Amino acid sequence: MKYAGLVIAGLLRHRSRTLLTFASVVAAFVLFGLLNGVRTVFNEGPDTSGQDRLIVTSRLSIIQPLPYSQLARIAALEGVTQVAHANWFGGVYQDRKNFFPNLAVSPEAWLDTHPEILLSPEEREAFLATRTAALVGEDLVARFGWKVGDKLPLAGTIFPNNSGSNTWTFDIVGVMRSGAEQRARAAGEMLFRYDYFDEGRLQGQGTVGWYVVQVEDPARSGEIAQAIDALFRNSDAETKTQSEKEFNLAFAKQFGDIGLIVAAIMAAVFFTVLLVTGNTMAQGVRERTGDIAILKTLGFSGGTVCALIVAEAMLLLVAGGAAGLALAELVLPAVSNALRGQLPPLEVGAGTWLTGLGLMLALALLVGLPPALGALRLKIVDALARA
Amino acid sequence: MVELKGVTKYYTRGRQQVEVLRGIDLSIAAGDFVALMGPSGSGKTTLLNLIGGLDQPSAGQVEVAGHRLETLSAAELARWRAANVGFVFQFYNLLPMLSAQRNVELPLLLTSLSGAERRRRALIALQLVGLADRARHRPGELSGGQEQRVAIARAVVSDPRLLVCDEPTGDLDRHTADEILGLLQRLNREHGKTIVMVTHDPKAADFARRRIHLDKGALSVENGA
């Protein structure tokens, strides 16, 4: 501790440079905290236990449709209380950049299995009674200025209409809201009726994208998932039953290996930090050759001087890294909230803190050791002659 | 205090060996104040570095304060310097980001003294050089003469027996130089410090008890002052 003042003074000798380097370390570890939170979620193993909603998709791929005929057999399984289904529609409103998820769903079963979707009784009634009805999320209403009663045209990018047009027209009958505590994914989605979709499409009639299975006892969800897959084993449409969380992850993974992408970004970020902090340390020590020579002249051993320089690097990296991870911890809940439940809750867990600490120490050694070893080898008389 | 026998020092530059000191025999008694003089390149600073344990001779013996310095390892030499020698340089060599008091405390960091005791001793050393009221000032806020006083306080704070001074007044005006030299003289006379001072300046050498001349790496004349 008695050397703490020397370590801090060494770092503050060039305040602006140290501050900028500190900021780059903070930024790197904010990114690390955020990205590692995402990577951790994507790398978690399968887990169907304790889930009251299971998702059944094709075993081959989540974009491979399943026959509608499977619904009755799944519903007949003991422990299954309700089965809903959905198709990814991929419709575009006016322009491709206006992307939002839009799904053709089994109306009543979908609303029953998704109680987090808040509707007035009139809206629910209208959705169940109107073939062209659409429910839109409150975020979409805020984004596009829609209101109940509006006609909503969507261009089908996957499913052309059998009328010879790509345009599908819907009637907005309700706005899906979510409670303050639970930001439902539906707030950013549009739902419409499967019967309208299935009758109107040119191909693929009688198939669904995936089933949502409500189970009576969440403790039995693993067992029921296995029973569903066993039902269709060796059939033309084998299934893969998983938790809603795993399904969401698998859906996101369609766009690429998220874990690998995140790891690549993190590697680039830390390589840059390594160069920036390495340069700061090297420059800082080079400018202090005279000071280091004086310390050695006064009787500081080479090892002590070496340790002082490594301690500077440690302080810079650990203080910056901890500040960055703390910031990430503050930001991640907001990111999770914005994703509206599409991913499991993101957090800077103990694992991320431990990995982060390891990275901070490793980076500190990498950037601190070369100039420290230079200081260790420094010959006093040469350095004093140059100073 | 200082005994040099047959000390030779050469440096290797490429394939060439440059002899800086040649067969130096020198004896400096405890409590002496020696001015080491000579033209540039005569080997004054090299000799001072050998006496202060900053460098090792190529041949010969360097015995200072009872230790044969040429036999000590780098780590042992560092410990020996911390315990036995105070250094004063032409350009003060204070650490610019530390206050005067923290600069003076530096040698005491190598001891087991508590923080409070280190601060107390540093203040006493600053009082000795007349700068107690500048304890919290950084070197950039002090004049050249004040900086050199802080450097002298740093040199004496751990109470070494030997002070080695390399052109301590080389960067100061006459008046300030005389003040610094008077301070060194007081440390020698009143506190019994043995002082070896390199200087070009004959007036500075007048403050010493004895002058030693070096020319082309060899002792030429020794004079009492």
Q: What is the pLDDT of residues A142-156, one digit of tens each?
A: 889 999 999 999 998
Q: What is the pLDDT of residues A179-233, one digit of tens each?
A: 654 556 677 889 999 999 999 998 889 999 999 999 998 888 889 999 999 999 9
CATH number for the segment(s) B32-56+73-224: 3.40.50.300
Interface mutation vs chain B, best among A1, A2, A289, most B CBs within 10 Å: A2
Q: What is the dihedral of CA A263, A265, A271, A272, to 10 degrees?
A: -160
Expressed in angstroms, the distance from the first to the final Cα of chain A is 29
Q: Do A298 and B102 touch (CB under 8 A)?
A: no
**Cβ atoms of residues A112 and A82 within 8 Å:** yes
Clarify whether residues A72 and A183 are in a common domain. yes
Clarify whether residues A66 and A183 are in a common domain. yes
Phi, psi at A204, each rounded to 5°:
80, 15
Q: Give the whole-angstrom CA distance, residue A79 versus residue A55.
A: 15
Q: Give the whole-angstrom CA distance, residue B107 versus residue B118.
A: 9
Looking at the domain assignment, is residue A252 inside a domain?
no
Contact with chain A for residue B78, Cβ under 8 A? yes
Clarify whether residues A373 and A322 are in a common domain. yes
Residue of B nearest to A3 (CA): B109
Phi, psi at A135, each rounded to 5°:
-110, 135
Clarify whether residues A26 and A153 are in a common domain. no
B9: left (phi over 0), alpha (psi -120 to 50) or beta: beta
Q: Do A302 and B78 touch (CB under 8 A)?
A: yes
> How many domains in chain A?
2
Q: Do B98 and A381 touch (CB under 8 A)?
A: no
Clarify whether residues A89 and A226 are in a common domain. yes
Clarify whether residues A162 and A78 are in a common domain. yes
The ipTM, to two decimals, is: 0.90
CB contact residues (below 8 A), chain A span 231-290, against chain B: 290
Give the DSSP per-residue string, B105-116: HGGGGGS---HH
**Least trusted range by pLDDT, from A46-60, A81-95, B20-34, B186-200:** A46-60
Clarify whether residues A196 and A85 are in a common domain. yes
Clarify whether residues A178 and A287 are in a common domain. no
Clarify whether residues A68 and A197 are in a common domain. yes
Q: Give the whole-angstrom CA distance, residue A266 versus residue A259.
A: 10
Q: Domain boundary at A237, A271, A298, which? A: A237
Looking at the domain assignment, is residue A51 inside a domain?
no
* Helix (H) / strand (E) containing A237: none
Residue A261, beta-bridge partner list? none
Q: State both tokens at A91.
A: 């419709």
Contact with chain B for residue A291, Cβ under 8 A? yes
Q: What is the pLDDT of residues B75-87, one digit of tens each?
A: 899 999 999 999 9
Phi, psi at A86, each rounded to 5°:
-150, 155
Clarify whether residues A66 and A23 are in a common domain. no
Contact with chain A for residue B95, Cβ under 8 A? yes
Does the pLDDT of residue A44 top 80, yes or no? Answer: no
Q: In chain B, what are the helix, strand and coil shares in percent, each to the nearest 5?
A: 40, 30, 30
**Cβ atoms of residues B130 and A47 within 8 Å:** no
**Cβ atoms of residues B225 and B206 within 8 Å:** yes
Clarify whether residues A219 and A279 are in a common domain. no
Looking at the domain assignment, is residue A308 inside a domain?
yes
Q: Domain range holding A123?
A: 60-237
The distance of B198 to chain A (nearest Cα, Å) reads 15
**Cβ atoms of residues B121 and B108 within 8 Å:** yes
The band of B225, judged by pLDDT with boundaries at 50, 70 and 90, is very low
Interchain CB contacts (distance < 8 Å): A and B: 67
Q: What is the pLDDT of residues B129-187, one digit of tens each?
A: 888 899 999 999 998 889 988 998 999 899 899 999 998 888 788 888 888 899 889 88
Contact with chain A for residue B110, Cβ under 8 A? yes
- Contact partners, residue A192, CB within 8 Å, separation at least 6: A89, A102, A103, A104, A105, A132, A133, A134, A135, A170
Looking at the domain assignment, is residue A219 inside a domain?
yes
Clarify whether residues A36 and A129 are in a common domain. no
Contact with chain A for residue B98, Cβ under 8 A? yes
Looking at the domain assignment, is residue A243 inside a domain?
no
Q: Give the whole-angstrom CA distance, residue A64 versus residue A87.
A: 11
Q: In chain A, what are the helix, strand and coil shares in percent, each to the nearest 5?
A: 55, 15, 25
Q: Give the whole-angstrom CA distance, residue A208 versus residue A227.
A: 20
Burial (CB < 10 A; 0-12, 13-18, 19+), residue A385, is: exposed
| pTM exceeding the 0.95 threshold for the entire prediction | no
Q: Do B110 and A294 touch (CB under 8 A)?
A: no
The distance of B82 to chain A (nearest Cα, Å) reads 4
Residue B62, beta-bridge partner list? B4
The band of A267, judged by pLDDT with boundaries at 50, 70 and 90, is confident
